[in-house]
């Protein structure tokens, strides 16, 4: 009150009339300061409300800061990858003291990808990737801390057998993408010599591929879906304790504060809540950031230190959150006027209009559907903005539709017991507080369901693909080979492996037409028409074609195209082929002519599902020594039976790695996506539940405040014998009706949004009833929790104390 008097005196001294609003920046600051003081001097309950607002805003701010960190996280991630990698140079450097031969040796252990790199220096001063002091010597490797831990685990024996190198060091953080990354750098021995290429430095990688349409869709959607509830929730959180604030403002009006002054005081109070929220958000962000290292999403695991909000975006959050808090508070006061004798609700009695409320989601839907005509891979900002705006408008539309829906539905509710009647009538009179509290739930649930649906569908797609793959228990391996003999030896070793039922393989290489020099494109890449030459013994060739009788030294020519799109028509008995076709940027050296014998028989090829094409020329090793081929590769197919050996897959991988660490596994045996999507869905579900609980906390605060406002009425109701159960049920309905309507809207909007997005990305729509039931169950739980926690205050308010006037 002193402040108000002081403000008045200031006005008088400056020559203003003694009545009316004191003005000037000083008075404004005083009013704001008074509001700020109210935020922290309301006793235990005041602190509780302020703390709840701060926590609510803080969680929102923490999520916003995390989102603001996305650009820096991605930059850091790509920077780390670029610094340690070299995928090959267009012109391979000559061997020197400062070059190293380099190959990839990635493997998988129980579904976890392990990044492997093999190195063999050409001299004494080879380039060294970041995080490694010295390159490992023969038989040695350096490992990431996570791989070191995995190797030490009791059930990692197959991995220890596979990575049979002596661990001589640990890769430092600068050489890792994230703390959980499984990676090693080992000595390149002769087994993988064919895979290797020479490099003169690390830190060269082709620019990352533009993200796929699906990834863009998911990322944009995730941002919108995660941030929209945050925005709505911040709006809800700053209004916690609004009724009490209005009562306080009315008391201030009684002692002479005018309406602009009360608004400034309210703004001051809101700013403090928002400022505390910012501080809480920063703390939550810093604490939560430490957990980032333990999370792997889509194979991306990052260091907590890399999660730094982009300064510009963080500054925007720091400015916008308090500004939004003030705006929301002032906007909320639009519908009420704090008068000296109390708060007057000047909300018009007229019904809410549906038109503009429907326009929001429909515009969003139109924007999303218009994306269907956009190219699949969004290029430039416009499609992304359109997608984000569409999803945001659709979700915002849900909050706009909710008040109309609640009003329209409760207006039609009739009958029922007293508890029901009390609730329905209350909602019919004023449903504002109810739908405001629930709108946060609605957006959060709608967004979460849409994301769930997208994840479920993608997961189902992967699951189906892997299921098909798993129905044929075969591992396909591919890699360079020195000769057919080496491939044959690999097959022999694999066939002896426990759990392996069969193994087949051939050696393959391209061949051009003799004399064909092809053409160079603008980039200097020379392309020629090639045919595929397949070399294997008679048993292996029989799998590829109906060759009939066969002896070493025989050659066969495919009479069909084996499913190929191009027709190497030049392949026929008697034709001269060039086994060193001049393909690529570099000159490949002199031609290696080889004549397809005139005696070669034309045969019908056999194509096995999931396997490579049989080839155009099928030759036995006696007819075509593989040493003459250019960059021959081996394709190995290994059948296994888990009933015989449960760990057959890991055994095969270990044997394959030991044959040639550079062998790549092409088949999809493990489904890593299941775990990734399961993790995502769990995180999303937990996020939804946390948002629900927070909104539940807000509901409790507003319910208790409403009860306090009606304290006398409750005492009167108790006086004439109203059962506590009746009032308890009324309280339950009061929370349950808006939540149920909000959920119905959320489920409709969420599934609609999910279906539209999936249709846009060309995926088949899958519904996960358990998730819908889970979210609905959680919301039901929140309703029960709010009711249960509001009952003790209700019982207290129903005491006759409320009847006492003296």
Partner 1 sequence: MTPDGSILAGEGLHKTYGRTTALDGADFSVHPGEVVAVMGPSGSGKSTLLHCLAGIVRPDSGSVRYDGRELTTLPDAERSALRRTDFGFVFQFGQLVPELTCLENVALPLRLNGTKRKIAEATAREWLARLEADDIHGKRPGEISGGQGQRVAVARALAGRPRVLFADEPTGALDSLNGERVLTLLTDAARDTSAAVVLVTHEPRVAAYSDREITVRDGRVRESLAGL
Binding interface with partner 1 (CB under 8 A): 415, 417-418, 421-422, 425-426, 428-430, 712-713, 716-723, 726, 800, 803-806
DSSP class of residue 127 equals -
Cβ nearer to partner 1, comparing 3 with 421: 421
Cβ contact 547:606 at 8 Å: no
Q: Which residue has the tokens 């006398």?
A: 712
* 246's tokens: 């209005």
Min separation Cβ 716 and partner 1, Å: 4
Cβ nearer to partner 1, comparing 344 with 690: 344
**CB under 8 Å to 483, separation ≥6 — which residues?**
507, 625, 626, 627, 632
Min separation Cβ 719 and partner 1, Å: 5
**CB under 8 Å to 151, separation ≥6 — which residues?**
143, 159, 160, 163, 167
Cβ nearer to partner 1, comparing 10 with 715: 715
Min separation Cβ 710 and partner 1, Å: 8
Min separation Cβ 803 and partner 1, Å: 7
Cβ nearer to partner 1, comparing 373 with 720: 720
Angstrom CA distances, 454 to 221, 465, 489, 585, 746, stand at: 10, 17, 46, 42, 16
Cβ nearer to partner 1, comparing 3 with 722: 722
Distance CA 530, CA 568 (A): 7
Min separation Cβ 792 and partner 1, Å: 16
362 dihedral zone (left: phi>0; alpha: psi -120 to 50; beta): alpha
Cβ nearer to partner 1, comparing 522 with 725: 725
Helix axis angle, 724-760 relative to 355-370, nearest 10°?
30
DSSP class of residue 413 equals -
Q: Which residue has the tokens 């703004």?
A: 267
Q: Name the 3-class secondary structure at 234.
A: helix
Min separation Cβ 442 and partner 1, Å: 24
Report CA 801 to chain centroid distance, whole Å. 54
Min separation Cβ 734 and partner 1, Å: 11
Cβ nearer to partner 1, comparing 200 with 431: 431
Give me the sign of the Cα torsion angle 183, 189, 193, 196.
Answer: positive
Report CA 536 to chain centroid distance, whole Å. 46
Min separation Cβ 78 and partner 1, Å: 59
Q: Name the 3-class secondary structure at 402.
A: helix
Strand (E) or helix (H) holding 332: helix 311-334
Min separation Cβ 703 and partner 1, Å: 15
Distance CA 369, CA 314 (A): 33
Report CA 139 to chain centroid distance, whole Å. 39
Cβ contact 513:567 at 8 Å: no
Cβ nearer to partner 1, comparing 162 with 426: 426
Min separation Cβ 441 and partner 1, Å: 23
Cβ nearer to partner 1, comparing 430 with 598: 430
Question: If we measure between CA atoms, which residue out of 176, 104, 93 comes closest to residue 127?
Answer: 93
Q: Which residue has the tokens 């003999």?
A: 485
Cβ contact 129:84 at 8 Å: yes
* 76's tokens: 């850091």
Distance CA 326, CA 274 (A): 9
Min separation Cβ 72 and partner 1, Å: 53
Cβ contact 751:767 at 8 Å: yes
DSSP class of residue 304 equals G
Min separation Cβ 784 and partner 1, Å: 23
Cβ nearer to partner 1, comparing 195 with 718: 718
Cβ nearer to partner 1, comparing 21 with 421: 421
Min separation Cβ 281 and partner 1, Å: 38
Cβ nearer to partner 1, comparing 94 with 412: 412
Cβ nearer to partner 1, comparing 501 with 726: 726
Buried b (16+ CB within 10 A) or exposed e, 189-214: eebbbbbbebbbebeeeeeeeeeebe
Please count the residues of the chain.
806
């Amino acid at each position: 009150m002193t402040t108000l008097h002081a403000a008045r005196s200031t006005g008088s001294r400056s020559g203003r009339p003694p009545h009316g609003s004191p003005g000037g920046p000083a008075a404004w600051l005083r009013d704001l300061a008074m509001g700020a003081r109210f935020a922290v001097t309301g006793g235990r309950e005041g602190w509780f409300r302020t703390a709840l607002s701060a926590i609510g805003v803080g969680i929102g701010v923490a999520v916003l800061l995390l989102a603001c960190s996305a650009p820096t996280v991605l930059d850091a991630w790509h920077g780390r990858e670029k610094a340690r990698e070299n995928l090959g140079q267009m012109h391979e450097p000559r061997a020197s003291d400062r070059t190293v031969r380099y190959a990839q040796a990635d493997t998988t252990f129980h579904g976890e990808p392990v990044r492997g790199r093999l190195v063999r220096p050409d001299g004494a001063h080879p380039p060294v990737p970041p995080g490694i002091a010295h390159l490992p010597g023969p038989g040695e490797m350096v490992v990431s801390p996570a791989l070191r831990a995995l190797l030490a685990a009791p059930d990692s024996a197959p991995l220890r057998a596979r990575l049979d190198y002596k661990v001589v060091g640990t890769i430092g953080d600068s050489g890792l993408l994230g703390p959980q990354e499984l990676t090693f750098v080992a000595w390149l021995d002769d087994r993988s010599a064919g895979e290797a290429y020479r490099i003169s430095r690390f830190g060269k990688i082709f620019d990352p591929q533009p993200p796929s349409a699906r990834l863009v869709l998911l990322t944009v959607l995730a941002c919108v879906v995660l941030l929209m509830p945050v925005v709505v929730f911040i709006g809800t959180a700053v209004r916690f304790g609004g009724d009490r604030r209005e009562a306080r403002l009315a008391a201030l009006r009684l002692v002479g504060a005018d309406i602009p002054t009360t608004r400034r005081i309210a703004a001051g109070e809101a700013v403090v809540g928002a400022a505390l929220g910012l501080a809480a958000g920063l703390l939550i962000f810093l604490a939560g950031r430490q957990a980032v290292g333990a999370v792997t999403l889509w194979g991306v695991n990052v260091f907590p230190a890399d999660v730094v909000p982009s300064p510009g975006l963080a500054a925007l959050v720091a400015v916008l959150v308090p500004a939004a808090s003030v705006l929301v508070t002032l906007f909320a006061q639009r519908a009420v006027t704090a008068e000296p004798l109390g708060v007057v609700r000047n909300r018009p009695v007229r019904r809410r209009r549906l038109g503009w409320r429907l326009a929001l989601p429909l515009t969003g839907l139109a924007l999303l559907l218009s994306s269907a005509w956009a190219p699949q891979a969004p290029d430039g900002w416009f499609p992304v903005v359109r997608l984000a705006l569409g999803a945001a408008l659709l979700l915002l539309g849900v909050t706009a539709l909710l008040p109309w829906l609640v009003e329209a539905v409760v207006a039609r509710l009739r009958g029922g017991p007293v508890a029901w009647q009390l609730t329905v009538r209350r909602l019919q009179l004023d449903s504002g507080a109810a739908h405001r509290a629930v709108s946060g739930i609605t957006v959060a649930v709608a967004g979460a369901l849409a994301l769930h649906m997208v994840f479920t569908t993608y997961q189902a797609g992967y699951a189906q693909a892997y299921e098909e793959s798993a129905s044929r228990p075969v591992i396909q391996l591919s890699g360079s080979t020195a000769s057919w003999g080496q491939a044959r030896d690999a097959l022999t070793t694999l066939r002896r492996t426990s759990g392996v039922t069969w193994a087949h393989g051939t050696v393959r290489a391209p061949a051009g037409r003799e004399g064909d020099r092809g053409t160079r494109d603008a980039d200097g890449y020379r392309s020629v028409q090639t045919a595929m030459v397949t070399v294997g013994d008679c048993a292996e060739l029989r799998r590829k074609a109906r060759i009939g009788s066969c002896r070493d030294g025989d050659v066969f020519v495919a009479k069909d195209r084996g499913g190929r799109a191009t027709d190497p028509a030049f392949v026929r008995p008697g034709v001269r082929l060039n086994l060193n076709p001049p393909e690529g940027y570099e000159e490949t050296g002199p031609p290696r002519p080889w004549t397809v014998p005139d005696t070669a028989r034309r045969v019908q090829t056999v194509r096995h599902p999931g396997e490579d094409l049989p080839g155009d020329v099928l030759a036995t090793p006696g007819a075509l020594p593989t040493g003459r081929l250019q960059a021959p590769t081996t394709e190995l197919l290994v059948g296994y039976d888990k009933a015989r050996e449960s760990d057959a897959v890991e055994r095969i991988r270990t044997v394959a790695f030991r044959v040639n660490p550079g062998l790549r596994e092409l088949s999809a045996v493990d489904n890593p996506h299941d775990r990734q999507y399961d993790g995502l869905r769990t995180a999303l579900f937990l996020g939804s539940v946390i948002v629900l609980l927070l909104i539940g906390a807000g509901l409790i605060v507003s319910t208790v405040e409403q009860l306090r406002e009606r304290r006398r009425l409750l005492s009167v109701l108790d006086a004439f014998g109203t059962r506590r159960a009746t009032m308890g049920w009324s309280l339950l309905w009061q929370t349950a009706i808006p939540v149920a309507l909000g959920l119905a809207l959320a489920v409709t909007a969420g599934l609609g949004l999910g279906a539209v997005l999936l249709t846009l990305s060309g995926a088949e729509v899958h519904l996960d009833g358990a998730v819908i039931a889970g979210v609905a169950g959680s919301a039901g739980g929140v309703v029960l929790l709010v009711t249960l926690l509001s009952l003790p205050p209700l019982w207290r308010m129903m005491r006759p104390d409320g009847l006492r006037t003296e």
